């Protein structure tokens, strides 16, 4: 069954270009596009997509409409995933997006739209209730907190595994990326969860929650 996607961006060329790119992907159906917060919310209500891909800045204010849309969609259509696109790593917006939970939410840099396979993988992950953070976002967040709190308890290898986890990669992909065995990856992941107090969390979300636990533990939840 095709993945039903709505894409929102107020720039005509970007909107048409990304929509055409997604249309080339096997098993993806762009059911609607939107140009602003109001039309995006209306389109979600009308088309019931599996996932929304939206720019973070759109009319009417050109500030955080993508974040506002994500929160409203989570509230009114909890089965719809949302991936927000941003030109830059904007940490405050990441925290705002994920403040109410990470399930079905993603934050990617706009440059990722040219990497079709990775983009579709992220959309599918979020549509099924998972979470995806852009690797550059993860790097920036972890670098800012590199000397704080729970980070001190993690080994270098656990840091590396955590970055891969938070980028949305599964165990097999982590093993391949870091030249490790699947068993070693599982061991490191278990250790990370244990050290960050995430043992009792649901498996579907605690990979990204591990990253957020760092940040919240050091008072960065604002």
Task: Look up residue 163 and give its two tokens.
Answer: 């970055």
Structural domain boundaries in the chain: 3-133, 138-217
Is domain 138-217 annotated with CATH 3.40.50.460? Answer: no
Task: Look up residue 81 and give its two tokens.
Answer: 């995933």
168, 130 Cβ separation under 8 angstroms? yes
Q: How many CB atoms lie within 10 A of CB 119?
A: 22
Is 12 strand, coil or helix?
helix
Task: Look up residue 92 and give its two tokens.
Answer: 């405050």
Q: What is the pTM of this model?
A: 0.73
- Class of domain 3-133 (CATH, top level): alpha beta
- pLDDT profile of the chain (222 residues), mean per 10: 94 94 93 97 97 96 94 94 91 81 87 90 91 78 59 84 74 92 93 77 60 53 39
């Amino acid at each position: 069954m095709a993945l039903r996607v709505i894409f929102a961006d107020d720039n005509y060329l970007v909107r048409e270009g990304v929509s055409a790119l997604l249309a080339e992907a096997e098993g993806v159906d762009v059911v609607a596009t939107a140009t602003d917060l109001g039309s995006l919310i209306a389109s979600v209500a009308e088309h019931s997509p599996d996932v929304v891909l939206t720019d973070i800045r759109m009319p009417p204010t050109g500030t955080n409409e993508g974040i506002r849309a994500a929160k409203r969609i989570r509230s009114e259509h909890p089965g719809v995933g949302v991936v927000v696109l941003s030109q830059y790593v904007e940490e405050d917006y990441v925290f705002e997006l994920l403040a109410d939970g990470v399930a079905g939410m993603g934050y990617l840099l706009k440059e990722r739209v040219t990497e079709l396979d990775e983009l579709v993988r992220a959309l599918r992950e979020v549509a099924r209730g998972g979470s995806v953070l852009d690797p550059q976002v993860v790097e920036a967040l972890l670098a800012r907190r590199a000397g704080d709190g729970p980070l001190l308890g993690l080994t270098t290898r656990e840091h590396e595994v955590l970055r891969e986890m938070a980028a949305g990669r599964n165990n097999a992909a982590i093993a391949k990326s870091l030249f490790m065995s699947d068993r070693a990856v599982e061991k490191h992941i278990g250790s990370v969860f244990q050290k960050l107090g995430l043992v009792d969390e649901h498996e579907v979300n605690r990979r990204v929650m591990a990253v957020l636990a760092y940040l919240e533990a050091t008072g960065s939840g604002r």
